[in-house]
Amino acid sequence: MGEASTALFTDRYELTMVDAALRDGTAGRRCVFELFTRRLSGARRFGVVAGTGRLLQLLREFRFGDDQLRYLRDGRVVDADTVRYLEDFRFTGSITGYREGELYFPGSPVLTVEGTFAEAVVLETIALSVMNYDSAVATAAARMSIAAGDRPLAEMGSRRTGEHSAVAAARAAFIAGFDATSNLEAGRVWGIPTMGTAAHAFTLLHDTEADAFRSQVAALGAATTLLVDTYDIRAGVEAAVRAAGTGLGGVRIDSGDLPSVAAAVRDQLDELGATGTRITVTSDLDEYAIATLAAAPVDAYGVGTSLVTGSGTATAGMVYKLVARQAGDGSWVSVAKASADKASRGGRKAAFRTLDAGTATQELIAVADGFETTPAGAAFPDARALQQPLIVAGEADPQYEGIAGVQTARAHHARVREELPVRALALSRADPAIPTVYVDVE
């Protein structure tokens, strides 16, 4: 089981806390942990939840097998009693949270984890690892999708991040509005459409650019996309049309001043009779560059580095905090961190989004101060409830996992993005598009 386990994708202090809590008898106390962000990273106007389906799958494999236990024992990370406890570890608690693809704002309880202290605290690192990265990429992807409008976007950043992150990034981008990925593993595992034809190396391999184009057309057909900027772009476009005919599917431009180059290529293609040939541009695009190309004769975009790095905001800044626990007498009490600039708000929470004529107006968070039951949605009949049960009594809801879960998340994101007010669509740094409002309930 060692190869499949995700149990050591964690920080040491989580297990040393379990070790100490088992010693003093508090490990079994029922607790409520919350995953949220205090502010939107990069001063963005909204965030996009992503990674939920991946996290549920990884939690299925959160087991301590022989290899993991041996490492903990030999390294004296925890004592023998804790090793025995971990031998049979299973998360038997519950997780509720925002649906994947949902929008979030400061204070949104993106995930609420309930269980004993021991079983809930050890999930902190893996939950934050997944949700912080995937949500950062999804938020960047959504901004790029908004800038692109109806023009399709392809993710092509695998070579700019780690191999596992590349697959996660492709998945998050697809949920938030991208249409395809260059990564075949993302296609295999998550069902994302894949794309790609040839790089500059293929042109450089051949004696002439024309030879390379003829070879590609022979292999992939005239509907392929030819990369025309290895040498001179104007000569490249002419050679591409000669190789494929006026039915050439597309050309790709990966360098130069893209607005002016795209306009010149469009004019040349039309002069050559290739009026239906599409123009795809790449070359270090981000949401701002895409926005500047809105008036250019561009048909599609390929985005790499900026996407897989969150377009300058590589993490969503989410944290995982204890917000309620049972006291020694069995009663529930809210708890909160009071550190300067890092305060949290205690209590169980239920989240709703208020709408006016279909447009979001506020993130409404109802807080039950230490009570065991979560505030009921019946108290807010005109708002949309945001939380769903993801894991109940240790069993994950399979509808959020796998290829079907990705498609569901993508569709959900497309729906909820329509709720954003117009000011949320701007790319400039600003306050969140809607305020977060807390309501104390009994």
- pLDDT of res. 2: 41
- pLDDT of res. 374: 53
What's the rounded Cα separation, in Å, for the pair 94 and 115? 7
Q: What share of the chain is helix, strand, coil (3-state, %, to 5)?
A: 40, 20, 40
Q: Which two tokens stand for residue 336?
A: 């909160």
What's the rounded Cα separation, in Å, for the pair 298 and 112? 43
- pLDDT of res. 328: 85
Q: Which residues of 358-390 are buried (b: 16+ CB within 10 A; e: fewer)?
A: eebbbbbbbbbebbeebbebeebeebbebbbeb
- The DSSP letter of residue 375 is P
- pLDDT of res. 376: 56
The amino acid present at 208, given as its one-letter code, is T
CATH number 3.20.20.70 given to 197-298: yes
Where along the chain do its domains lie? 12-137+313-441, 197-298
Beta bridge partners of 360: 355
Q: Which two tokens stand for residue 35?
A: 């995953």
Q: Which two tokens stand for residue 386?
A: 């945001």
Q: Which two tokens stand for residue 92?
A: 């038997």
3-class DSSP state for residue 99?
A: coil
What is the number of residues in the chain? 442
The DSSP code sequence of 170-237 is HHHHHHTT--EES-HHHHHHH---B-----HHHHHHSSSHHHHHHHHHHHH-TTSEEE--SS-HHHHH
- pLDDT of res. 378: 61
What's the rounded Cα separation, in Å, for the pair 297 and 264? 9
- pLDDT of res. 330: 86
What's the rounded Cα separation, in Å, for the pair 64 and 71? 10
What's the rounded Cα separation, in Å, for the pair 236 and 438? 60
Q: Which two tokens stand for residue 275?
A: 């009026």
Mean pLDDT of the chain: 95
Measured from the Cβ of residue 431, the count of other Cβ atoms closer than 10 Å reads: 12
- pLDDT of res. 368: 81
The tens digit of pLDDT for each residue in 200-211 reads: 999 999 999 999
pTM of the model: 0.95
Cβ 83 vs Cβ 16: under 8 Å: no
Residue ranges of the chain with per-residue pLDDT less than 70: 1-3, 369-379, 442
**CATH top-level class for 12-137+313-441?**
alpha beta
What's the rounded Cα separation, in Å, for the pair 279 and 232? 16
Residue 11 makes CB contacts below 8 A (sequence gap 6+) with 124, 125
Q: Which two tokens stand for residue 63?
A: 């087991």
- pLDDT of res. 377: 57
What's the rounded Cα separation, in Å, for the pair 57 and 398? 9
334: left (phi over 0), alpha (psi -120 to 50) or beta: beta
